[in-house]
Amino acid sequence: MNDVEELYQELIVDHYKNPRGRGVIDDPDAKCTLFNPLCGDEVTLYVCVEDGTIKDLQFSGRGCAISQASASMMSEVCEGVTVEQARHRLATFTTMMKSELPEEELEPLGDAASLQGVRRFAARIRCATLGWEALAKCLSELSESSGEGE
Ligand code: ZN
C-alpha cells in the first residue's frame, strides 16, 4: 500500500466511525431508501431544500464501511450547497467511479475523492455509489415536485 492509499483508508475508517450528517429528518422535502443486496448495505437519505440550496441533509442506514463512509462524505460536501452544485458533484462522483479524472476535478468532492480506489473492485462499486444514488433520487423527486424539471 502506498501513502495515498493509506490516507484513503484512514479517511474511510474515520467517516465510518465518526459519520457526518448521520441522523433522521422528521419532515424532509425528499427522502429515499436504497439497498445494495450484494453486500447488505442500506442507506436512507433525507433532504431539505430552501431557495435552491440544500439546507439540511442527513442519512441513516447500515452496512459496510465503504457504504456508510461514502454517505457520510456525500453529506459533508453536499449540505449547504445549491442543488445545482450538488448535481455537479454527483455527476463528478459518478464519473470518477467509472474512470480516472484529473485531480483538480475531484476537488469539490472533498474526502469522497478517496473512494476512487474502490473503482478497482467491481463488486464494491455499488457500496460506494449507494448514498449518491439516493441523492440523485432525492434531487429528481425535488425537481418533479417543484415543477422545475430539466
Ligand atoms: Zn457494502
120 CA to centre of ligand 1 in angstroms = 14
Q: Kindly give the distance from the C-alpha atom of residue 41 to the centroid of ligand 1, in angstroms, as a whole number.
A: 5
Residues 11-32: tens digit of each pLDDT: 999 999 999 999 999 999 999 9
Q: How far is the CA of 13 from the centre of ligand 1 (A)?
A: 13
More confident residue, 20 or 1: 20
Amino acid 149: pLDDT: 47
Q: Is the pLDDT of residue 6 over 90?
A: no
Q: How far is the CA of 59 from the centre of ligand 1 (A)?
A: 16
C-alpha of residue 4 to centroid of ligand 1, in Å: 22
Q: What is the pLDDT of residue 147?
A: 59
pLDDT given for residue 4 in this prediction? 67
| Mean per-residue pLDDT, 114-141 | 95
User: What pLDDT digit, counting tens, does each position of 38-60 carry?
Assistant: 999 999 999 999 999 999 999 99
User: Secondary structure of the chain in the HEC alphabet?
Assistant: CCHHHHHHHHHHHHHHHCCCCECCCCCCCEEEEEEECCCCEEEEEEEEEECCEEEEEEEEEECCHHHHHHHHHHHHHHCCCEHHHHHHHHHHHHHHCCCCCCHHHHHHHHHHHHHHHHHHCHHHHHHHHHHHHHHHHHHHHHHHHCCCCC
Is the pLDDT at 104 greater than 80? The verdict is yes
pTM: 0.93
Ligand 1 centroid – CA 126 distance (Å): 7
